[in-house]
Amino acid sequence: LASGSADFRAARDLYLAAHPTAAINFQLPDFIVFRVRPESARFVAGFGKIVDLDREAWAGLGRPDS
C-alpha cells in the first residue's frame, strides 16, 4: 500500500490496535505494508481434515452465518 494513502492509514490503524508496541515500525523508511488477496487456500485441521477454499469461501470466513 502506498505510504500515506487512505488504505495505508486504515491498515496501520488496524495493525496498531492489535500490536500497539509496533508503532516504531511505521517510522522506519523501509517498512512496507502489503495487501494480500488470496485466490484459494487449503485449511489443514489435522489428519484427514483438509478443506480447499476458493475465493468465495475464503471471503466468507469470519462472517456470521445468516
52 - beta bridge partners? 42
pLDDT value, residue 66: 44
Q: What is the percent of the chain where pLDDT is above 70?
A: 92
Distance CA 66, CA 53 (A): 19
| Beta strands in the chain, from DSSP E residues, in sequence order | 40-46, 49-54
pLDDT value, residue 63: 67
pTM of the model: 0.59
pLDDT digits (tens, 9 = 90+) for 33-42: 998 888 888 8
Residue 15 C-alpha cell reads as 495493525
pLDDT digits (tens, 9 = 90+) for 14-28: 999 999 999 999 999
